[in-house]
Structure 1
Amino acid sequence: MRLYHHSISTCSRRVMMAALHMGTPLELTEVNLMSPEDRRRLVAINPNSKLPVLQDGEFTLWESCAIMQYLADRTHGQDLYPDNILIRADINRWMMWGVQHFAPPISTLCYENIWKGMSGRGGPDAAEIDRAGRLIAQFAAVLEQHLAGRDWVVCDTLTLADLALAPSLTYIQQAKLPVTQFPKLMAWLGRVSQLDAWKQTMPIW
């Protein structure tokens, strides 16, 4: 199986963390999103022009959480995505919540406070920062409440839910993400950050 990714992509990092933790072998191809030629190649395998993309023989799969679930189903003996239908439904709920609610405003702050300036597109937009910051605080409060009395997002052990949510917080300092006032969220992130898979996939600046 081949994964097209980029080391600074938090969506790519979700998949990489899951594969590393489960011991799922992947061949890696890094895509330079600043290269027009690499962009053309990417569109050929993902019409959304987004990373990551998994190729397994003739089968091509995009969307990071779908890839994580597929890899778990392909990995014998993994424990990140149990067969129990109720546990899977709960994991799926939090993975979808992450990509629908939690990650988008975080991506906005990452763009405004990091990538926008690096790509020469001007300075941060104060209105966008305010809007995204309020949404992040709103949804971080949901996760904070959910984590009361628990170490992990689903059940009492690490699952795909944790590995889907935590990478969104990769640039917590650089993007000035307004989440440090949530102690349970920060304690959970601290537990995730102790995982070898987190340490091995941390982007180098």
Structure 2
Amino acid sequence: MRLYYHPASSSSRRVMLAAVHMGASLELTEVNLMSAEDRRRLVALNPNSKVPVLQDGEFTLWESCAIMQYLADRTFGQKLYPENILVRADINRWMLWSAQHFAPPLGTIVYEHIWKGLSGNGGPDSVEIDRASRLVTQFAGVLEQHLAGRDWIVGDTLTLADLAIAPSLTYIEQAKLPVTQYPKLMAWLARVSQLDAWKQTMPVW
């Protein structure tokens, strides 16, 4: 299986976290998102022009959470995505929650504080940051309440849900993400950050 990815992409990091933790074997191809030629090749793989993309023989799969689930199904003995249908439904719920509600406003703040300037598109837009910050506050509150009395998002062990949500917080300091006032969320993130897979996939600045 080959993964097209970029190490600074939080979506790519979701997949890499799961793969490293499960010991899934992947051949890696880094996509230079600043290269017009790499972008053209990427569109041929994913019409959304986004990483990551997984190729498994003739099968091509995009969307990071879908790739995580596929890798889990392909990895014998993994424990991140149990067979129990109720547990899977709960994991799916939190993965979709992150993709729909939590990750997008965090991504906006990261873009405004980091990627916008690096890509030559000007400085941070305070209106966009304020709008996104209000959404982060709303949904970080949901996660904070959910984590009361819990170490992990689903059940009492690490699952794909944790590895899907945490990467959006990769740039918590550099992008000044407004989540540090949530003690349960921060304690959970500290637990995730102790994982070998987290340390191995941390982007280098």
* TM-score bracket for this pair, using the shorter chain length: over 0.9
SS, match of residue 29 in structure 1? strand
* Residues 131-159 of structure 1 deviation map (CA, whole Å, 9 limit, x = unaligned): 00110011000000000000000000000
Q: Structure 1: which amino acid aligns with 2:130?
A: D
CA distance in 2, matches of 1:128, 1:36: 27
CA distance in 2, matches of 1:203, 1:127: 28
Partner of 2:162: 162
Q: Structure 2: which amino acid aligns with 1:21?
A: H
**1:118 deviation in Å?**
1.0
SS, match of residue 181 in structure 1? coil
Partner of 1:82: 82
Partner of 1:67: 67
TM-score, normalization by structure 1: 1.00
Partner of 2:9: 9
What is the RMSD of the two structures over their aligned residues, measured on CA atoms? 0.4
Q: Structure 2: which amino acid aligns with 1:153?
A: I
Number of aligned residue pairs: 205
Q: Structure 2: which amino acid aligns with 1:24?
A: A
**1:69 deviation in Å?**
0.2
Partner of 2:176: 176
**1:120 deviation in Å?**
1.3
Q: Structure 1: which amino acid aligns with 2:37?
A: E
Partner of 1:103: 103
Q: Does structure 1 residue 118 correspond to structure 2 residue 118?
A: yes
CA distance in 2, matches of 1:97, 1:17: 19
Partner of 1:48: 48
Q: Structure 1: which amino acid aligns with 2:14?
A: R
Q: Structure 1: which amino acid aligns with 2:151?
A: D
CA distance in 1, matches of 2:134, 2:200: 31
**1:65 deviation in Å?**
0.1
Q: Structure 2: which amino acid aligns with 1:19?
A: A
CA distance in 2, matches of 1:75, 1:125: 43
Partner of 2:196: 196
* Residues 80-122 of structure 1 deviation map (CA, whole Å, 9 limit, x = unaligned): 0000000000000000000000000001000100111111111
Q: Structure 1: which amino acid aligns with 2:82?
A: P
CA distance in 2, matches of 1:58, 1:201: 27
SS, match of residue 78 in structure 1? coil
TM-score, normalization by structure 2: 1.00
* Residues 9-41 of structure 1 deviation map (CA, whole Å, 9 limit, x = unaligned): 000000000000000000000000000000000
Q: Does structure 1 residue 39 correspond to structure 2 residue 39?
A: yes
Q: Which runs of 5+ in 2 are unaligned?
A: none
Q: Structure 1 segments of 4 or more deviating over 6 A?
A: none
CA distance in 2, matches of 1:192, 1:90: 19
